Structure 1
Amino acid sequence: MQSGFRFVMTALTLGLCLCLGCVELSAQDDLVAKAQNERELILNGTALVGQFEKFSEPFKRRYPFIKVQYARTTGEALTTKILREAAARQLSVDVILINNYTHRIFTKKNLLTPYAPPGAANFPQGFIDKQAYWVGFYLVPYAITYNTKLVAKTNAPKSFDDLLQPKWKGQISLEREEYLVTQSHMQFLGRQKAIEYFKRLAQQDLIHVNGHSKQAVLLTAGEFPLIVYSDIARTEELKRKGAPVEWVRAEPHITVLVSAAITREARHPAAARLFMNYLASDEGQREILSIDKPPALPKFRPEYLSGINLFPADWTLSDSYEEYNKLYREIFWKNS
């Protein structure tokens, strides 16, 4: 009797799995059919064009009928563009690739539509939105970074407090619109302690540069010896190419999660969902390694981050972004 019961339950379980599999395949086929009619996908993001092109190659090979158009700009410029287009009811982008901090702003303004790709269950808490408004793309962990030709390892700063030493005055670069990372640093230190630290740091005659990519190029060229917050993954990529750069193992390593979301007014919703399916799959997450970025899925984390304590940027900080950005400008732009 018991063996018969087990047989029935096993058969039912297998049947249910097959049924769910058929439903998933049917949904995928339906998306493909609709995407064949849309024939286009428009994305805006902060990843470099070359990086996105490499990451999206497998997607383009699988769906050659989809014309993929990608435009890249800085986070602040992209945020402004999206909000301006939305206000004018001229939002043309299908998928936005930007940090989840900014996606929270877009979500609260009702600019995104929820979608949970088949691979969503593989993402741990914090790497995918509970309400499915965004899914993790890759990590951007930050660290103090220096030019090894200008600064010997023995003389390099060992902590953020070391940047306040008189010898570094006029030698340190800060990205001009470093809002999110500094706000996260404030959360790590506590508001009052952070304000006191930032004011002292601002007195170091910081060298403001627009854009992290340009900042990394200038550091490599020896235009200045230090960057307060620089992408560890980019530094590792530059080191492999022989650049004289190194990052400091000093906490906090503020870590921003770049994520993907579909806009509510997406003109190519099926193509957008196919792209999200690819991005959230093991194939897509593994492909992120080829563009020298740490994938959102921890199982694909690169070796150089082993043992490093990352401090994730809290996306709810964006609830007070206007107030904080004003404070940031008052502190860091005062003498620029």
Structure 2
Amino acid sequence: MSHVSSVRFTSVLSAALLALPLIAAPYAAAQAVPNGYPADYAKTIDAAKKEGKLVIYSSTDQASATPLLDDFKKEYPFVNVEYQDIGTSQLYSRFLAEAAAGSPSADLLWSSAMDLQVKLAADGYALSYASPESKNFAPENSYQNMAFGTTLEPAALIYNKRLVKAGDLPATHAAFAKLLSGGKLSGKLATWDPEKSGVGFTLMEYDNQSNKDFGAVSQGLGKAQAGLYSSTGAMLEKVVSGEALYGYNIIGSYALLRQQTVPDLGMKFWKDGTIAFQRVAFINKNAKAPNTAKLFLDYLLSRRGQLVMANKALIYSLRSDVAGKATRTTLTQQVGGAANLKIIAVDKRLLDNLVPATRNAFLDIWRKNVKGQ
């Protein structure tokens, strides 16, 4: 082809391309204001584009969080997320140390230690934010527009299906206490160490408040010489390996996710009352990326985010308008009705757990019953 012909061909091609209808790029479309949000939410999105990196401290396991982070990136592809998976107690103490030193810290904190999260909010570390999603949640799902419940996490009894027959499983706490006292489960139990785990303390202390048979259960755990752990992962490993037959008050969402690859892992909810906590998120008042943090918080609370929780992350969703495997509706059915679902509210009563006298009173009972001290 001659040079003249080449130029003519290029000109014709360019003209043809210019004549094509414009198609919005996925990048631009992904940044549209979500349906039902106020129009000025576009300002939050625009401000977030200038912030760059979003730093998240979270006790949610990376495996569970990844589907949510990936989908959030699809919604807002300009965001660079730094996600740090940290234990509940370490998350709390690390954030406080960084705040005291004026050091860089997380923009958003997402933790299963409800009392510690509300404590940080009550002490002035959280940004007050009227989320557009708040209308879809009940008052007990948030604390003063600062700390927000995002999930519904049941405390389950897990077991090894190879070693425990389904027909032998206790349906109530009283039946479980009787099983523990039988003397056949010595060294075959795994549960929380409430002295080392924030979420472990919350679950066990609320169990003590709401379960009339907790005294008998805790004494049974002591008689069975239950192993005490500070993470769900460690307890799951003990049960999956068969070293432990049962795990008590285990976070159900993690067990549900593990069941996808380990069919021998069983999970059962109590018919006389199943505790469920809420994984609480708040935005750091001194966040370097407050607008990006708002986007992520709103995403967690949105129907889109909750659908990903229920169907991909397999974290039990909090919203009632979500369908899937891990939802409020399916959980309510599994525990035998709403009356049997004992949800811990996100409110100031959680702060009672941190009053030294109250905390020590429970731990004294725990040490006596479980540790024989």
Q: Which residue of 2 aligns with 1:59?
A: 72
Moved more, 264-273 or 147-156: 147-156
Q: Which residue of 1 aligns with 2:125?
A: 111
For 1:294 and 1:179, the matched residues in 2 are separated by 21
Q: Which residue of 1 aligns with 2:157?
A: 144
5 Å matches for 1:115-126?
115-126=129-140
Report the number of matched residues. Answer: 312
Q: Which residue of 2 aligns with 1:237?
A: 257
1:254 to 275, 279, 282: 275
2:204 to 157, 182, 186: 182
2:342 to 308, 311, 320: 311
Amino acid at match of 2:274: H
Amino acid at match of 2:155: Y
Q: Which residue of 2 aligns with 1:213?
A: 233
Change (3 A) 1:236 1:67: closer
Change (3 A) 1:75 1:113: same
Flag as ranges the 4+ runs of structure 1 deviating above 6 A. Answer: none
Confirm or deny: 8 A CA contact 1:135 1:259 kept in the other structure: yes
5 Å matches for 1:130-141?
131-141=144-154
Larger Rg computed on CA atoms: 2
Are residue 330 (structure 1) and residue 361 (structure 2) matched? no
Deviation at 1:282, TM superposition (A): 1.3
Deviation at 1:334, TM superposition (A): 4.0
Change (3 A) 1:147 1:334: same
Give 5+ residue unaligned stretches, structure 2. 1-34
Deviations 1:197-242 (A, max 9, x none): 5344323211122310221122112121011111223333333334
1:288 to 290, 298, 309: 309
Confirm or deny: 8 A CA contact 1:141 1:232 kept in the other structure: yes
5 Å matches for 1:13-24?
24=38
- Local SS of the residue matching 1:126: helix
Deviation at 1:35, TM superposition (A): 1.3
Amino acid at match of 2:367: E
Task: Point out which structure has higher relative CO (alpha carbons under 8 A, 6+ apart).
Answer: 1
Deviation at 1:43, TM superposition (A): 0.5
Deviations 1:133-169 (A, max 9, x none): 1222212101222111111123333332233332222
Deviation at 1:196, TM superposition (A): 6.0
Deviation at 1:77, TM superposition (A): 1.8
Q: Which residue of 2 aligns with 1:101?
A: 115
Moved more, 203-212 or 264-273: 203-212
For 2:269 and 2:290, the matched residues in 1 are separated by 43
Deviation at 1:101, TM superposition (A): 2.5
Q: Which residue of 2 aligns with 1:298?
A: 320
Deviations 1:15-39 (A, max 9, x none): xxxxxx999222x221122112111
For 2:259 and 2:227, the matched residues in 1 are separated by 23
Change (3 A) 1:105 1:275: same
Moved more, 238-247 or 268-277: 238-247
Change (3 A) 1:50 1:170: closer
- Local SS of the residue matching 1:96: strand
Confirm or deny: 8 A CA contact 1:183 1:317 kept in the other structure: no
Change (3 A) 1:312 1:302: closer
For 2:285 and 2:313, the matched residues in 1 are separated by 29
For 1:248 and 1:80, the matched residues in 2 are separated by 33
TM-score, structure 2 as length reference: 0.76
Q: Which residue of 1 aligns with 2:8?
A: none
Q: Which residue of 2 aligns with 1:6?
A: none
TM-score, structure 1 as length reference: 0.84
Confirm or deny: 8 A CA contact 1:185 1:252 kept in the other structure: no
Deviations 1:225-281 (A, max 9, x none): 011111223333333334212223323311110021101111111111111222222
Give 5+ residue unaligned stretches, structure 1. 1-20
